Chains A and B, each alone.
Chain A
Amino acid sequence: MKGLQVEIKRALRDPQLRVAMERFVSINTAARSQAYTEVDLQEIQERVRAMKEKALENLPELFARFKEEARRAGAAVFEAASAEDANRYILELAVRHGVRLAVKSKSMVSEETGLNRRLAEAGIRVVETDLGEWIVQLAGERPSHMVAPAIHKTREEVADLFSQVTGQPLSGAESSELVQVARRELRRIFLEAGMGITGANIAIAESGTLVLVTNEGNGRLVTLLPRLQVALVGYEKLVGTWEEAATILRILARGATGQKISSYVSLITGAVPSLEGYRQLHIVFLDNGRDQMRQDLRYREALYCIRCGACLSVCPPYRSVGGHVYGHIYVGGIGSILTAFYHGMEAAAPSLDLCIGCRACVEVCPAAIDAPRMIVDLRGDRVEQEGLPATRRWILRDVLRNRDRFHRALMAASWAQLPLTRGGPLIRHLPLFFSSQNKWRSLPAIALRPLRRRWTGERVPEGEVQARVAFYSGCLIDFAYPEMGEAVARVLRKEGLAVSFPLGQTCCGIPALYLGDRETACELAQQNIAALEEAGADYVITACPTCSMALRHEFHRLLAGDPVWEARAKAIAARAYDFSEFLVKVLGREGSERARGLEGRRGTYHDPCHLKRGLGVYDEPRELLVDKGLKLVEMMDSDTCCGFGGSYSLSYPGISRDILERKLKNLEATGAEVVATDCPGCVLQLRGGLDKKGKSIQVRHTAEILAEGLG
């Protein structure tokens, strides 16, 4: 883990990398968003998922069909169980045909197997022909992005590398001149090469056809010039039909570069006669952990990935540190999952920790792959295999699980901090719960009187009781922001609801779950379910979207397999709502007395990740705020993570801070006096950052704003 921290620091301090990443992200994101407006993404996601699921379910049959058809069309098909099997087959083939030089069109699978190195050891030179891959190869590096491998390199660095190839100085050259150098140099190599190596974007079973996509045209030259053709294909690339291939093509380029279709799509069935007449095509299918992934239904959906890279540009940690920090060929959230299966848990462990859980990737993925969920599951598997580090184990198992001990520890912390807070609402040097603190963000004081001490009995409305609700506060509201809980109660009472605070409630367990401690998370889920059942309310209301997500989605997932507990968890889930969602969806807005109070104030809204992408709630708080009179000015990327991520901001403060910086820039650009949001964690992060910068912009929970002026 030390290595990872060092890599992160280096990346965060690399000014060129930062400029390059920002440029790439803004251009790529704009192009993709535009391209996505032309399609019904949700419909495509459903179609791709159903299609991929069917293909994986029938994979042995699909492969058998592919093999038969491809052989009939004159190709050789080889089944490689491991990376070494694949490399050996290709090496022997090259040796048999006296190949000295091979050209390769981008193939991630070949990087996965380390093919270049293996062939080089035998004296066979492999030249990458995708421009980005060639740059990375010349630099002796790894690709940092699956679609744009060399985005981390500046033009000057590329010019240096190319100068070494040509022997001519190229400094100051424009990108277009550098591209011409590549065209010239690689053209010679294409014409000399004895073997062409490609991957495949799709393999169509019904006709034994490989589909190869490029923009530069190198894929066509690699498959048309050398006499000997090798395609290295992961089994997950198989689909049944040409129509299914069309579905993938339709979204692949849109997700990758915002094009409707890539410049070149080659559909290759068998050996194609070319310059010197008939040639050979060898198709090598690689398993290397794929079947294990396919068989484990928790991870099967990782095989839906079509490698479009859409998830990378929207991944806040990736955006901050780039691809190299992930340590292996497959980068980003999906990459760390693939690495876990292709290269083993140990190889994947550091990169699994990099996910902040914001779920931005799920939203843009053409297959809506739930990478964050799988990452949490893998962390859990890892803890089951290796156990927890000692301190973490003590905090999670001995403190967090024991409600009284946990709460006493928090209270002790609140007294311990006294001399430092000087009575101010924000303190500058204090442990956030149990960890050491960072200089870039002020933290809230732990409340001297937490919500659970303030709240006795049921808070009843003035008139008739319309319904009874139990408030599930979560730790942050309970111990750091009790005023948010008070605000929720005031608003709900005004709506005619009786609101109780079940004292048996405790931490939702998400922090434990995200650290891989499923056992503690299960235990806490049960404690909370029991406490909420006991309250006997009609609804359970939360004002922390992470807690809402826990109640709605995680508890029953965690307890699945135990029919009694699962049913109890589902019963709670059916009654659980996040605050603004409840007000709009359940209580409705008609005849509401909520309106008024904020007339003329300029405000903006920050979407908490788990509210928008965990619960699908984003219009509701806006409607409520506008009703209240707020003049809403949207900020850019309002639904991009603020960088909090709970303990993430303590484990990876550098990344957390960098993400926050981007958020604050967008926020300040709106000129808003107040930022509303619906998550105490986001409030902590945003307030902390603004306070450190000496900005007077207010950060308020929507509930606090709505409660203004209510008795």
Chain B
Amino acid sequence: MREGFGKTAWTLTELCTLFREEAQRVGAVVQEAGNWEDAFRYIIELAKARGVSLVAISQSSLPHYQELVQRLAQEGIQAVLPGEAPAQGLRRALTEAGMGISGADLGIAESGTLVLVRGDGRDRLVTALPPLHVALFSAHQLVHTLADAMVILKGWGDGYPPAHISLITGPSRTADIETALVIGVHGPKEVHILILKEREGKEED
């Protein structure tokens, strides 16, 4: 399934650069992380800086999420996992969380777009309700164009496309009042993207 990865005329470094430029252009913050540890540190720093005490984590899209939960707990930051919390509490927790953390299954370099495939509606809500979304993915998950992404998505699971795929490009925005661009309407006001240079663990391959 993953054979298409990396088979492009673009080198990974070029794709990374393009992705970063494009995502920044639409207002996302893009950071490269040497390894998971770096990424976790970034998340914790960011949470502290924003005064976040409750985060939601889309565990089905994020490898090593347990480590992250532990690290957050050490800092006194509580994490809610949609796959584990009961429905009632979850609705509340998701609306109160100051940060939503997810993986991304693909990154589209030409437009700085995150593609979320794994998980269900609850995982998507992690990236939709909190005012701040942090997404992590490995550099080798970058593709060049939307068309490249579509080909991969279409054949994702035995020809049955996943139920709810989200393409996310920058924070939520509107220009509906006097054509003035305002960031942060119904979705996140801030999007931080961490690109991991280290390949994901063996369980993926």
Chain A residues with Cβ below 8 Å from B177 are: 131, 135, 150, 153, 155, 158, 175, 178-179
A266 engages B164 (CB within 8 Å): yes
A276's nearest neighbour on chain B, judged by CB, is B87
B121 engages A272 (CB within 8 Å): yes
A182 engages B146 (CB within 8 Å): no
Chain A residues with Cβ below 8 Å from B174 are: 131-132, 179, 215-216
CA separation between A180 and B164, bound complex, in Å?
27
A151's nearest neighbour on chain B, judged by CB, is B179
A138 contacts B by Cβ under 8 Å? no
Interface size on B, residues (CB 8 A): 51
Residues of B65-118 at the interface with A, using a CB-CB cut-off of 8 Å, are 87, 90-91, 95, 108, 110-111, 113
Chain A residues with Cβ below 8 Å from B205 are: none
1/0 per residue B134-157: CB within 8 Å of A? 000000000000110111011000
Interface size on A, residues (CB 8 A): 70
Of B22, B151, B154, B176, which one neighbours A130 at CB under 8 angstroms? B176
1/0 per residue B152-181: CB within 8 Å of A? 011000001111111111111111111110
B176 engages A132 (CB within 8 Å): yes
CA separation between A64 and B153, bound complex, in Å?
23
A218 engages B185 (CB within 8 Å): yes
CA separation between A260 and B174, bound complex, in Å?
15
Chain A residues with Cβ below 8 Å from B166 are: 220, 264-267
Of B91, B128, B150, B186, which one neighbours A129 at CB under 8 angstroms? B186
B184 contacts A by Cβ under 8 Å? yes
A172 contacts B by Cβ under 8 Å? no
Chain B residues with Cβ below 8 Å from A269 are: 160-164
Of A148, A190, A279, which one neighbours B176 at CB under 8 angstroms? A148
Task: With A187-B95, A275-B87 as known contacts, state yes or no: A28 contacts B179, CB within 8 Å.
Answer: yes
Chain A residues with Cβ below 8 Å from B63 are: none
B32 contacts A by Cβ under 8 Å? no
User: Which of A240-248, A475-483, A557-565, A570-578 faces chain B?
Assistant: A240-248
Which of B91, B154, B177 lies at the interface centre, i.e. has the most chain A CB atoms within 10 A of its CB? B177
Which of A191, A224, A262, A270 lies at the interface centre, i.e. has the most chain B CB atoms within 10 A of its CB? A224
A275 engages B186 (CB within 8 Å): no
B170's nearest neighbour on chain A, judged by CB, is A263
B167's nearest neighbour on chain A, judged by CB, is A265
B161 to chain A, nearest CB (A): 5
Residues of A210-260 at the interface with B, using a CB-CB cut-off of 8 Å, are 215-218, 220-221, 223-225, 241-243, 245-247, 249-250, 257, 259-260
A149's nearest neighbour on chain B, judged by CB, is B176
B175 engages A257 (CB within 8 Å): yes
CA separation between A268 and B124, bound complex, in Å?
12
A131 engages B153 (CB within 8 Å): no
Of B173, B176, B178, B179, which one neighbours A263 at CB under 8 angstroms? B173
B26 contacts A by Cβ under 8 Å? yes
B46 contacts A by Cβ under 8 Å? no
B91's nearest neighbour on chain A, judged by CB, is A275
Chain B residues with Cβ below 8 Å from A150 are: 176-177
Which of A24, A132, A186, A242 lies at the interface centre, i.e. has the most chain B CB atoms within 10 A of its CB? A242
Task: With A132-B176, A179-B174, A273-B121 as known contacts, state yes or no: A186 contacts B164, CB within 8 Å.
Answer: no
B167 to chain A, nearest CB (A): 4
Chain A residues with Cβ below 8 Å from B122 are: 273-275
Of A131, A257, A275, which one neighbours B185 at CB under 8 angstroms? A131
Chain B residues with Cβ below 8 Å from A186 are: 186
Chain B residues with Cβ below 8 Å from A129 are: 186
B57 to chain A, nearest CB (A): 16
A247's nearest neighbour on chain B, judged by CB, is B147
CA separation between A28 and B179, bound complex, in Å?
8
B128 engages A267 (CB within 8 Å): no
A613 to chain B, nearest CB (A): 27
B179 engages A215 (CB within 8 Å): no
A209 engages B182 (CB within 8 Å): no
In the complex, 10 of the A-B residue pairs with CB atoms within 8 angstroms, ordered by the A residue number, are A150-B176, A179-B177, A186-B186, A216-B185, A221-B186, A224-B164, A242-B151, A261-B111, A263-B173, A264-B166
Interface of B toward A, CB cutoff 8 Å: 22, 26, 87, 90-91, 95, 108, 110-111, 113, 120-122, 124-125, 128-129, 146-147, 149-151, 153-154, 160-180, 182, 184-188
